[in-house]
Structure 1
Amino acid sequence: MSLLGKAAVAMWWSVRPEQRAEFGDWHSHEHFPERMSIAGFRRGSRWSSTTDAEGFFVLYELEQYDVLTSKGYLDRLNAPTSWSTRMMPHHLGMIRSQCRIVGSFGGGVAAALATFRLSPQAGREADLQERLSKTLGVLAQEPGLTGAHLLLTDTPPTSSPTTEQQIRGKDGAADWIVLLSGYDADAVEHVVADQLSPGVLGTLGAQNNPTIGRYRLAFTMTPQDVAAI
C-alpha cells in the first residue's frame, strides 16, 4: 500500500456488535463518499481488527498537510448529517491523529495490515526516524509484504473540537505511527514478532510500550469511485 499525498488522518476505535451492521452501511455508503468528495482527500480505507471483534482502523490519505485546516474539511466536520450525528456516539475509545507522512515505501493496496503506535525515547527522535525509515524501506520489498510507512502526529495549532468531536466526546491521539501492509498475513505477523518487535523498536530508539494492532481490509474508496456512483 503506497500512501497517497503528504498527510493523513489515522484513527482507531471500537463499535459494539449490535451497531456494526448499521455502521458498515453508513460508513461505506454515506461517510466515505462524503469524505472523498472533499478537495485534497486521495483515499480512504477501513480495516477490521483480527484480534478484537469490535475494533477498527481507518486511514484517510491527504494530498497536502493544509487539507487538515481547509474550509471544505472543517465545514464537513462541523455540519454532520443526521445519520452521522446518530452514529458518532458509537465510535468508542476514539484515537484520532492528524499526521505528516515522513516515510512511505511500497505500492498497491494489500489485505493485511499491522499498526504500531509508539513514542521516541527522549533525545532519540532523529535517530529513531532515521533508523525506522531505513528498516521500513527494506521491509516493503520483502516477500509477502507490500508497504511500510512512518507517520508523525502533528496536530494543527489552531485545531479546536469540531461538532463531530463534541458528539463523540474527547478523542485521544497517537504519537508516532508505523503501518506495515502485506498480501500475506503470516508475513506481516512475522515482522511484528521479529524485525519490529517491541525489543527491536527499543534498540532503534522507541519507548518500550508500543501499541500493536492487526487488521484486514474491509473497504477502500478514492474520489474516482465517488465520481462513478
Structure 2
Amino acid sequence: MALLGDAAVAMWWNVAQDHQTEFHEWHSKEHLPERLSIPGFNRGSRWQRENGGDFFVIYELAAYETLISEAYLARLNNPTRWSKTMMPLHRDMVRSQCRVVASSGRGVATYMSTITLSPQNGQHARLENYLRPVLAKLPERFGVTSAHLLRTQTPQVATTKEQQIRGGDAIADWIILVSGHDASSLRTVASVVLNRDTLCDNGAETSEYGEPFRLIHTMTPQDV
C-alpha cells in the first residue's frame, strides 16, 4: 500500500504571498515535527501549486482511531504561540479527516493531483467499484507513481482551538490523489481517464479539479 496507514487528514488552503516565507518556515520547522511526534502519524507532506499560494497538505495515519487520540486532540487544543499567529493566515481552508479506501503505487514523487468528488444518491458502491480497478492501474502509466481514494468520515469530537482560530473549515467528501514525476501525465489522467463526464457516467455527482501541486517538504517520525 502506497499510503502509510489506513487513515489520513487531507487539507487545502491558500496563504497570501506576503506571508508565505514565514509560513514555509513555520510549517517545516515547527508544525510538521509537532504532528509527526504524535503516535500514529506516519508521514506528513506539504505541496504547493507553482502558479500561486495554494497548498495541499496530507498526514498519513496508522489507523482511523488516531484522529480521536488523546495525543492528537491535545495538540489541536493547545496550539503554540507561532501556530496561533499562522493559523489565521490559512484562507479558504478545507480539512477532511478520512479513511483510506484504496491505495496503490510506491513512494513519494514530485507532483500530486487532487480531485474532490461526491457520489450520486445511492451510487456509493457503484462509484467505488468503478474507481478501485482504475486507480490500481494508474501507476502503470508513464509518469504516474501512485493513486489513492480517500473517503471523509469526520469524527464526532468538539470543535478544537485550532479550528476556532481559523474560523471553521470546509470539508471535501471523496478524494482522489494521483502522484507522479511528470506533471503533464497527471493532467492527462485528469482530463482523459478521470474527467467529469467519465466520473458522472459511473456514479459521481460533482467533481472539482486543479493544477497539480509540487512537493515542498515531507517528513516521517524518524526525521523528528
TM bracket, shorter-chain basis: over 0.9
**2: CA distance, partners of 1:224 / 1:206:** 39
Quick one: percent identity of the two aligned structures? 52
Other structure's SS at 2:159 match:
coil
**1: CA distance, partners of 2:201 / 2:193:** 11
Shift of 1:54: 1.6
Greater than 4 Å deviation, 4+ residue runs:
none
Q: Where in structure 2 are there 5+ consecutive unaligned residues?
A: none
Could you tell me which amino acid in structure 1 is paired with residue 132 of structure 2?
S
Other structure's SS at 2:44 match:
strand
Other structure's SS at 1:103 match:
strand
Q: Where in structure 1 are there 5+ consecutive unaligned residues?
A: none
**2: CA distance, partners of 1:205 / 1:135:** 14
> TM-score normalised to the size of structure 2?
0.97
Could you tell me which amino acid in structure 1 is paired with residue 20 of structure 2?
R
Tell me if 1:142 matches 2:141. Answer: yes
Post-superposition Cα deviations, 1:97-145, rounded to whole Å, max 9, x if no partner, equal 0000010010111101110110001111001011001110011221210
**2: CA distance, partners of 1:96 / 1:192:** 22
The equivalent of 1:66 in structure 2 is: 65
Tell me if 1:37 matches 2:30. Answer: no
The equivalent of 1:205 in structure 2 is: 203
Could you tell me which amino acid in structure 2 is paired with residue 204 of structure 1?
N
**2: CA distance, partners of 1:123 / 1:30:** 43
Tell me if 1:8 matches 2:8. Answer: yes
> TM-score normalised to the size of structure 1?
0.95
Q: CA RMSD in A?
A: 1.0
Other structure's SS at 1:137 match:
helix
The equivalent of 1:192 in structure 2 is: 190
The equivalent of 1:174 in structure 2 is: 172
Equivalent pairs, count? 223
**1: CA distance, partners of 2:217 / 2:209:** 21
Could you tell me which amino acid in structure 2 is paired with residue 102 of structure 1?
V
